[in-house]
Structure 1
Amino acid sequence: MLKYTSIMSIEHIRPREIINLGQPDTLLINVPATFQQGIIPDDEEPPFGMLRIAVASEEYGYKPALLDAHRGKLTPSEIDDVLYGLKPKSVGINPTSVNVPEAQEIAELCAHHGIPLILGGVHATLDPFTALKEDFPMALAVVKGKGEKAILHILDDIKNGQRTEKRGVYYQNAETSRRDFADYYPLDELPLIDQSRWVENPLIGGTVGINGQNVELIEISLYETAGCPFQCTYCATPALVGRNDGYKTYYRPNMDRILASTKLAVELGANAIHFIDDMAFVNPGHFRKFADGVEKLKLQNQLYWRGMTRASIIADKCSDEDLSILAQSGCWRIAMGVESGDEQILRRIKKGITTHQVREAVSKLRAVGIPQVKAFFIMGFPEETLEQMETTRKFIMELKQLGLTDISIFQFKPYPGTEEWQHLQQTNPEVLENLYYIRHGGSTNIVNRKIAKDASLPDDLKIAAVPSKIVREMVVKTLEEFYGH
């Protein structure tokens, strides 16, 4: 397993240094998952949504700045220092369902300094009016959907001292009947993101075992697509991209764009790339074009990369020749979301794969020389039985024999905007009242602020057919058996 350490060390910018940088038109703040120190892991990927907004607004003529308070593990007082020193003309934040109180603290700091606040991201998109009216009444506007074009409209309005209607932009006086999403900014038209300008420590170093040898990797994360073409019931992406409202759900740039990002990453000093997209490559043609591009860039045998795809694509669409080309292009790990080894559960969650396809995918990938194959699983879906979880455990052990090298297993947790959340609202609503990780509430809700971040569900909570404690024990048992502890 790859253990990462930071390659670069950049001093945190202190307020006295920020003052000399000039006043930005907007400061984009990546909200921390928590202000509890020691909980946020090192080396998480950068906030690519904000990076896209930053380069789009700069291309348009505005001056953006980005403060990654999450990866930087900043405290409220440190964020306040930045606001005081930088004096941005506006601030954009991106709360999710789990860090609303942290975002509210930042919002209060902005209000104290008289800085207009723009709200975007998951929380704003799933329920813009609750976000605007209840959780962040001090906010100037909320963006529903992608923010690259919406931010340009809002910054124009701030500059001109007006509030004009625009798709996906919701001011405080917006009609509550609206459901429109922000206009899409074509990915091919976005400027390339130079992470050396926007990201502290973009290069992560570590050693990984590849074909029996320890290889030193200097890795950078890339995110090239938007959305997802599938409709898994536990995932909020369909709601975030407006599937039910008729919007296109998946965007992918052309291969020249992806290769240009790859070339820039190498120029920054990386010899490895982690494509963090759910689906960076969706058919064999994409694999072939990427491999051809790597060869034309003269990066063969110099570049390593990893990414995710679907078991059905590997099993049904890729020939052995296609997969051999994949290995030759430097791919050292392919990960797949499998979720369950029970066919009934796979159908229920609309995964669109079968256990047969998963077996085929793992076997084919290892046979052509992909050094590592990883799979993600979830246990404890609503009404899932202990027997079905046991089926998944046995399936995982079978896949290990076929060549699966790594797994991650998560205990199911419902999130707003997903089909599973809606299902529980209808069938088991009291369960949703006991989810400590979902913390809404007004900015003065002291009770919510004092609730500790709990990585586990309450022991006696029954989302599945058995209590949460039993699900968690099955997760631990399976991990220990797979890794031989």
Structure 2
Amino acid sequence: MYSKKIVFIEPSVALEEIYGGLAKVGAVSPPLNLLLLAAIVRERGYAPHIIDCPALGLTYGDVIGRLKKINPRFVGLTAMTPHIMQAGKLAKAIKAAVPEAIILLGGAHISSVPEETMLRFPDIDIGFIGEADYSLPELLDTVNKGNAASTVKGTISREHSQLINTGQRGEKIKLDDLPLYAWDILEGFPYIYKTPLFAAHRTPATPILTSRGCPGKCIFCYSGCHKTISTYSAEYIINMLKHLKERYDIREFMLFDDNFVTFRENLKKLLNMLIEKKLDLTWSCNARVDMVNQEMLNLMAKAGCWQISYGIETGNQRIMDLLGKNITKEKVCRAIDMARSAGIRTVGFFMIGHFGETQETIDETIEFACNCGLDDFRMTFFTPLPGTKASLMADEYGAFENEWEGMNLFSPVFIPRCLTKKQLIENQKRAMRKFFFRPRPVLSYLKMVKNPIIALRGAYMLGQYVLKGNNH
């Protein structure tokens, strides 16, 4: 009889590798994907454990020590592209120390480039392609019965020195049939986790997901390429929120959905239920500028929404079109105005170094960001991630350092033809200084300093990010 023990691991990644000079204010969020998979396999009779290395500050040696004590049959790792090298190194260390363990890998990266990932990291035994909610429990049962992993749809595995890719599963995940996340086995939750700066103004706070996927087809994004679009019902979400509040005293949640407003009827029902049940929860979310309206935003504010983040990316219409945003600058301004009218704070996410970027388009973007009415501003570097349409187009538009370990969004790996890496970095710093050294963002931040922890982290962020840049 094989062991039913499985350990899920969030690989150890130094915050400096992700945030550079912003490491001290960098976020450490619960691994939502692992929490859900742990809950799913627990329902099937398995005994899951979660080791969250970044949150616990664990080294590879610490992980190996814990694995030897648990002695699991399976070890599941997760990684997006910025963390894939760490996952590969950890897999190698685990295979050397616990050779009998079957090492699994899931996440957006291996879903995008499965063969390349398996070839590069020979210590990974089985990978998952796409959502693993159904594939993982089926695989565990299949392997424990002595059958080949290659019989399970949605996987890539090794068989007689060959890679067998069974492709993505066809069926749609019924989210309401899934259990609540296994927060109870997450060591230190929620208190050891740090929220993204200015993403919450009450604590304890935690991120949640109420839907999957996005209807957008942006060329640089994983979501439109790989995920089906689905949502939990309003009733399921309310049950989740009540559970988090009653058991963990959660007072605020950050909706990490790619686009919270996709399912309008379900959204309206959820907002009305939040208002009626008086849960006293505040929250923030992400949305597309072309999918909000005044009625919706007013209801969101009444239901506790205090901040909304829009993916804007650029202030140049030609580049917006090239990115596949399917929005206009006018729609951006209108969405910001409507949020302000509803009393909701706005954050704009931008990137620099796009295909076709020039000094003139950068100047246009900075001016647009400063004059469109935003309360807050983020700017990272355009990064053609593996498996996205942008990764196939990059060589046509400039020089692309196609090395996975450098793709963290905080340092430029794609350099447009008319610019240099130094110019991109200097322009990012200039954009931050120009945006934040104005009355609107200063006043917006002052409204949030009731929480001293946020105030201190904010002051440090402004010093590091605005005055010194990211220093990656």
Name 1:390's counterpart in structure 2. 363
1:400-439 alignment runs, 5 A limit: 402=373, 404-425=374-395, 428=398, 431-433=400-402, 437=406
* Shift, 1:55, TM fit: 0.8
Name 1:181's counterpart in structure 2. 168
1:266 aligns with 2:240: no
Name 1:12's counterpart in structure 2. none
Contact 2:153 2:168 in 1 (8 A): yes
Give the secondary-structure state (helix, strand or coil) at the position aligned to 1:98: helix
Give TM-score scaled by structure 1 length.
Answer: 0.80
Name 1:480's counterpart in structure 2. 433
* Shift, 1:437, TM fit: 0.8
| CA distance in 1: counterparts of 2:307 and 2:90, whole angstroms | 38
Distance of aligned partners of 1:427 and 1:456 in 2 relative to their CA distance in 1, 3 Å threshold: closer
Contact 1:30 1:94 in 2 (8 A): yes
| CA distance in 1: counterparts of 2:158 and 2:188, whole angstroms | 35
* Shift, 1:82, TM fit: 0.9
Contact 1:26 1:88 in 2 (8 A): yes
Name 1:14's counterpart in structure 2. none
* Shift, 1:193, TM fit: 1.6
Give the secondary-structure state (helix, strand or coil) at the position aligned to 1:280: coil
| CA distance in 2: counterparts of 1:208 and 1:66, whole angstroms | 25
| CA distance in 2: counterparts of 1:423 and 1:207, whole angstroms | 31
* Structure 2 stretches lacking a partner, 5+ long: 438-465, 467-472
| CA distance in 1: counterparts of 2:186 and 2:216, whole angstroms | 31
What is the RMSD of the two structures over their aligned residues, measured on CA atoms? 2.9
Distance of aligned partners of 1:35 and 1:303 in 2 relative to their CA distance in 1, 3 Å threshold: closer
| CA distance in 1: counterparts of 2:404 and 2:144, whole angstroms | 41
Give the secondary-structure state (helix, strand or coil) at the position aligned to 2:207: strand
Distance of aligned partners of 1:454 and 1:223 in 2 relative to their CA distance in 1, 3 Å threshold: closer
Give the letter for the 2:233 counterpart. Answer: N
Contact 1:187 1:252 in 2 (8 A): yes
Q: Per-residue displacement from partner, 1:445-470 (whole Å, max 9, x unpaired)?
A: xxxxxxxx995337xx7335211211
| CA distance in 1: counterparts of 2:198 and 2:75, whole angstroms | 43
Distance of aligned partners of 1:287 and 1:116 in 2 relative to their CA distance in 1, 3 Å threshold: closer
| CA distance in 1: counterparts of 2:388 and 2:197, whole angstroms | 36
Name 1:447's counterpart in structure 2. none
* Shift, 1:252, TM fit: 1.2
2:157 to 171, 186, 205: 171
Give the letter for the 1:68 counterpart. Answer: D
2:186 to 176, 198, 208: 198
Name 1:376's counterpart in structure 2. 349
1:300-319 alignment runs, 5 A limit: 302-314=280-292, 318-319=293-294
Select between 380-389 and 123-132 the one with higher mean Cα deviation: 123-132
Name 2:45's counterpart in structure 1. 61
| CA distance in 1: counterparts of 2:195 and 2:418, whole angstroms | 41
Name 2:146's counterpart in structure 1. 161
* Shift, 1:141, TM fit: 1.4
2:91 to 100, 107, 113: 107
| CA distance in 2: counterparts of 1:80 and 1:123, whole angstroms | 24
Give the secondary-structure state (helix, strand or coil) at the position aligned to 2:167: coil
Identical positions, percent: 21
Name 1:31's counterpart in structure 2. 11
1:228 aligns with 2:183: no
| CA distance in 2: counterparts of 1:367 and 1:53, whole angstroms | 40
Name 1:294's counterpart in structure 2. 274
| CA distance in 2: counterparts of 1:332 and 1:464, whole angstroms | 40
Question: Which has more helix, going by share of residues?
Answer: 2
| CA distance in 2: counterparts of 1:482 and 1:411, whole angstroms | 17
1:279 to 259, 284, 288: 259
Give TM-score scaled by structure 2 length.
Answer: 0.82
* Shift, 1:392, TM fit: 0.8
* Shift, 1:287, TM fit: 4.1
| CA distance in 2: counterparts of 1:219 and 1:377, whole angstroms | 25
Distance of aligned partners of 1:464 and 1:68 in 2 relative to their CA distance in 1, 3 Å threshold: farther
Contact 2:208 2:255 in 1 (8 A): yes
* Shift, 1:139, TM fit: 2.8
* Shift, 1:108, TM fit: 2.0
1:46 aligns with 2:30: yes
Contact 2:261 2:267 in 1 (8 A): yes
Give the letter for the 2:133 counterpart. Answer: E
| CA distance in 2: counterparts of 1:365 and 1:147, whole angstroms | 36
| CA distance in 2: counterparts of 1:291 and 1:184, whole angstroms | 25
Q: Per-residue displacement from partner, 1:235-293 (whole Å, max 9, x unpaired)?
A: 1223333xxxxxxx312121111211121122120111111111122255344322211
* Shift, 1:74, TM fit: 1.5
Give the secondary-structure state (helix, strand or coil) at the position aligned to 1:421: helix
Select between 281-290 and 464-473 the one with higher mean Cα deviation: 281-290
Contact 1:33 1:98 in 2 (8 A): no
Contact 1:327 1:368 in 2 (8 A): yes
Give the secondary-structure state (helix, strand or coil) at the position aligned to 1:377: strand
Give the letter for the 1:187 counterpart. Answer: L
Distance of aligned partners of 1:283 and 1:369 in 2 relative to their CA distance in 1, 3 Å threshold: farther
1:144 to 129, 135, 147: 129
| CA distance in 1: counterparts of 2:196 and 2:95, whole angstroms | 46
Contact 1:119 1:142 in 2 (8 A): yes
| CA distance in 1: counterparts of 2:104 and 2:287, whole angstroms | 34
Q: Per-residue displacement from partner, 1:188-226 (whole Å, max 9, x unpaired)?
A: 11111252432533256899999xxx9644312111222
Contact 1:146 1:184 in 2 (8 A): no
2:104 to 76, 97, 118: 118
**Across the two proteins, how many residue pairs are aligned to each other?**
425
Distance of aligned partners of 1:311 and 1:92 in 2 relative to their CA distance in 1, 3 Å threshold: same
Name 1:130's counterpart in structure 2. 116
| CA distance in 2: counterparts of 1:84 and 1:224, whole angstroms | 36
Distance of aligned partners of 1:128 and 1:436 in 2 relative to their CA distance in 1, 3 Å threshold: closer
| CA distance in 1: counterparts of 2:390 and 2:131, whole angstroms | 23
| CA distance in 2: counterparts of 1:361 and 1:283, whole angstroms | 18
| CA distance in 1: counterparts of 2:428 and 2:404, whole angstroms | 19
Q: Per-residue displacement from partner, 1:152-189 (whole Å, max 9, x unpaired)?
A: 12211232122151211222129768461145532111
* Shift, 1:79, TM fit: 0.9
1:457 aligns with 2:430: no
